[in-house]
Amino acid sequence: MFDKIIKENQFKTKCVIAIYLLIFVLIGLLVDIVRINASDLSEGFYQLLSLREFPVVTCALLLIAVLIVSFTIRNFKGILLSGNEYKEIIDGREANAQERELSKILDELVEVAHLPFRPKLFLMEAPFMNAFASGWKAENSLIAVTTTLVKNLTRQELKAVMAHELSHIRHGDIRLTLMVGVLSNIMLLVVNYGVYLFLGNSRERGANLARTILVVLQFVLPLLTLVLQMFLSRSREYMADSGAAYLMNDSTPMVLALQKISNNYTQSDFSQSDTNPTRSALYIFNPSEMFSTHPSIENRIKALLQK
């Protein structure tokens, strides 16, 4: 059952990524059509795709995306952990019983999952209950849990949360989240400013039509990227929840953990507590309701109880 769910969601994810890449290239080509002042839209696409006219803007966008992703990969730990005090729990060098217990839980999960690697483990000082995972590949992956989460969950519930985060790493979610985030931001930036890069009243119908499409995309693209991001992120959360239940061989600890984390946010307003917005899409729980990257706790619990 779990393998089937994971395969279905992975297929949906590939479809979303394909759509993102197509839109990304399309925007670059439209700006290039305006740049070369094409007389006809279809002829402009043909000239650019056949390299009769080199797609300068399209290639520049792809290069920028690669550079940003590369920078983020090299600096992701500092980016995601900044704003809070944190400590890495190093295997064999734990300072106290709590750290030894966290390390042991991670070892148990790695063994059950038959993984050839062990993610780095971080304990982050924070007044709210949450956790996240990151890393571009197995060798540099990490799991971070907040001190409040550790204090308020039972061992099995905490293990389920860590299993959820480990599942994100196993499924390759972090790479997808990073790539989609970079593509979305660059696309929105280019659409907002690309139409003004080559000002002038062109007499060529193709260039004017490309500029008109870019103007329309200024209004349509933010909504489209939001919908795609929500679909992608929510499907990954369901996958990670299923992965946690699979590793635990029981969905109950994950259900109880989600209930406690949700109640923690219901009882207190932590909107000003987290000074690092880059973590919001990675957390196991997102308190915002409308346009949240996460499905509702009710739907996640309902899905877990059906396993």
Instruction: Give catalytic residues, as residue numbers.
Output: 165
β-pair partners for 86:
124
CA distance 40 to 42: 6
CB 209 within 8 A of CB 95: no
Q: Which two tokens stand for residue 213?
A: 């499409």
Q: Which 3-state string (H, E, C) describes 170-233?
A: HCCHHHHHHHHHHHHHHHHHHHHHHCCCCCCCCCCHHHHHHHHHHHHHHHHHHHHHHHHHHHHH
CB 164 within 8 A of CB 1: no
Q: What is the DSSP string of 134-169?
A: E-SSGGG-EEEEEHHHHHHS-HHHHHHHHHHHHHHH
| CA nearest to 160, candidates 257, 268, 226 | 257
